[in-house]
Amino acid sequence: MSSSFSGLSIVVKGLFAQQAAMNVTGHNISNVNTDGYSRQRAVLETTTPEAVGSCGMLGTGVTVQQIERLRNSFLDVKFWGENMVLGEWEARSDILSQIEAVFNEPSDAGLNTVIDSFFSSLQELAKDPGSLTVRALVRENAISFTNTLNHMASQFQKIQTDINFSIETKVKELNSYAKQISELNQQIMRYEIDGSNANDLRDRRDLLVDKMSKIADVKVFEDADGRFRLNVGGRLMVNHNTYNELMLVERGTAKNPDVDVNGLYDVQWDDGMVFNPKSGELKGLIDMRDSDGSPGTYKGVPYYMRQLNTFAREFAAAFNAIHTTAYGLVDDGYEEPGGDMIYFFTSDITMDSYIPGSPRELNTMDEITAANITVSKEIFNDLNCICFADSFDTVPGDATKGLELANLRYSKIFPTFGTPEDFVKSLVSSLGVDGQEAIRMRDNQDILVTQTDITRMSTSGVSIDEEMANMIKFQHSYNAAARMITTMDEMIEVVVNRMGVVGR
C-alpha cells in the first residue's frame, strides 16, 4: 500500500522534471545564434511503479531520463562530404580569377594592346626608316612590351607565393583543430563516464569537424566505448586523445624548376609520409600552385607561367631571327656579312653581344623568359641599332627587313596557336573556360552545401516559436504540479490537524 505522502512525492518529481525541461528550453533559446549548437530536449519517462495490493501497479511520478541532443549523423556526414568539394572549387575559382586579372584581357591595358602598339610603331618606321623620332617610339613600345611581360611574370610569382602562404595557414589550422578535438575527446569521455551526455562539448567537436571538412576530406568514427577517431586525407589524424601533426617541409628540388619560385612547401605527416588530400581547400590550393596542365592534372599557375615563357621566348627568337640579318644606321667600321647581327630582345640588358670591329657571336634564346625578357643593350643605348635595311648599301632608306618584322604580327610564329595575337587569345580563352567551370562548380556546390545545412538545421536548429510553445507547456505543467502540492498539503493538513477533533 502506498504511503500517505506518496502523492506529494509524485508531484514533487513532476515539479523537478518540468523545471529541468524549462531549463533546457532556456538553454536552447540562449544559444539560438550560437554556431554549431544543436537543439536539446529533456526526455521524460515514468519512474518505477509500485504494487498496490491486488489493484495492480501505481505510478510513482516522472523523471528526466536524459538531456537529448537532436542531431542527425547521416546529414553531418553528407554535409562534410559536400563542404570539402565546395572548399576545393572555391580555392580554384579564387586563384583563377587572380590569373584572369593578371592577363586583363580584353582591355586597353592588356598584352594584346601592347603588342598591337609595338607592331603599329614598326609599320610607321617602315614608312621612314631614318626617322629617329619614330625609332624612339619603336624602342619605347618595345620596352613597354617587355615590361608588361616582366610584370605579368612577377604577378604570377606573387600568386604562387601567396598560394604557398595559404597552404601554410591551412595546415596550421588543421593541426590546431586536431589538437582541440583531441582535448575535447578527453573531456567528453570524462563527463560521459557516468552515462551522461556531454551535449555542448559534442557540439563544439562537430563544429571543428565542420571547419576541417572545408580544408580537407575528413572521415569520423566513434566506437561503442565513445572513442573518437578522425581521418584526414585518408590517414588517421586524431586517435581519441592523441593526434598526428602535418609538417611543412621546404622543397629541396623544385617540382617545376623552370617556373617555380623559391621556398615552396611540401606538406607531410610527422612520420615523413606525403599528405595527399582528395578534396578540400588544400587540394585546390596545392593543385593551383603545382599543376602544370599535363594529362590528368589541372591548369595551375605553373601552366600559365610556362605558356607566358614560351610566348616570350618564341616571339623573341622569331623577331631576332629577322633583326640579326638586317642592317641599321650604326657604323662600327666593320661590315657584317649577312646583317649587323644585333639582337633586339635578350634576357639580360647588361650583356654585350659583340666587340665593335669583330664578328658578333650570338647567344642562345633558350634563356629568355617572361620574367627576364628585355630590349638589348644596343637597342636601349642607340636608336641607330634598330635594323630595317636588307643590305649595308641600302641604308638608311631601305625598310625591307622592317616590313618583315612588322608582318610578324600576321605570321604563325607559334605552331600550335598561330600569330602572337592568336596565342594570347587562345591562352585567355582557355583561362576563361577554366574560370567559368570553377565558378559554375563552386556555385552548384554552394547550393548543395546550403541545402544540406538547411536540412540538417531543420533537425538540430533552434526554433524560437517552438521553444516559446514548449516554455508555455512546461510552465503550465509546473503550475499544475505546484497546485497539486497545495491540494495535497490541504488534504494532509485535514488528516493531521482535524481528524479526531470532531465532538470534543
The residue-averaged pLDDT of 111-133 equals: 93
Contact 305, 311 (CB under 8 A): no
Q: Please give the C-alpha separations between residue 332 and each of 99, 359, 395, in angstroms, as whole numbers.
A: 46, 11, 14
Q: Which pLDDT value is given to residue 466? A: 93
pLDDT confidence band for 255 (50 / 70 / 90): confident
Look up residue 228 and give its DSSP letter: E
Q: What pLDDT does residue 81 have?
A: 94
pLDDT value of position 394: 78
Q: How far apart are CA 366 and CA 347, in angstroms?
A: 9
Predicted local confidence at residue 174, as pLDDT = 96
Mean pLDDT of the chain, nearest integer: 89
Q: Residue 392: what pLDDT?
A: 80
- DSSP label at residue 241: T
Instruction: Indicate whether 6 pLDDT > 90.
Output: no
**Is the model's pLDDT at 501 over the cut of 70?**
no
Return the number of other C-beta atoms located less than 10 Å from residue 449's C-beta: 22
Residue 51's pLDDT is what? 79
Q: How sure is the predictor about 495, in pLDDT bands with cuts at 50, 70 and 90? A: confident
Domain boundaries, given as residue ranges, for the chain: 6-70+462-498, 76-148+158-296
The answer to whether 277 and 233 have CB atoms below 8 angstroms apart is: yes
Task: Report the C-alpha gap between 313 and 332 in whole angstroms.
Answer: 29
Residue 304's pLDDT band (cuts 50, 70, 90) = very high
The label of the residue with cell 572549387 reads 89
Higher local confidence (pLDDT), 256 or 176:
176
What distances in angstroms separate CA 393 from CA 128, 155, 331, 335, 337, one per listed residue?
17, 46, 12, 10, 12
| Average pLDDT over every residue of 44-48 | 90
Split at pLDDT 50, 70, 90, the class of 348 is: confident
Of 379, 411, 380, 405, the residue nearest 390 (C-alpha)? 405
- Among 12-26, 270-284, 363-377, name the one with the lowest average pLDDT: 363-377
Q: Say whether pLDDT at 425 is over 60.
A: yes
Sign of the torsion formed by the C-alpha atoms of 424, 430, 432 and 435: negative
State the pLDDT at residue 333. 55
| Residue 454 pLDDT greater than 70, yes or no | yes
Residue 402 pLDDT greater than 60, yes or no = yes
What mean pLDDT do residues 337-364 have? 66
Residue 365 pLDDT exceeds 90: no
pLDDT of residue 354: 53
Mark residue 320 as left, alpha or beta (left: phi above 0; alpha: psi -120 to 50; beta: remaining).
alpha
**Which amino acid is located at 501 in the chain?**
V
**Of 371 and 490, more confident:** 371
pLDDT in tens, 177-232: 999 999 999 999 999 888 888 999 999 999 999 999 999 999 999 988 889 999 99
Quick check: pTM over 0.85?
A: yes
Q: Residue 337: pLDDT above 70?
A: no
Average pLDDT of span 346-351: 73
Q: Is the pLDDT of residue 398 over 90?
A: no
Please confirm whether the linkage preceding 129 is cis (ω < 30° from 0): no
- 445's enclosing H/E stretch is helix 420-460
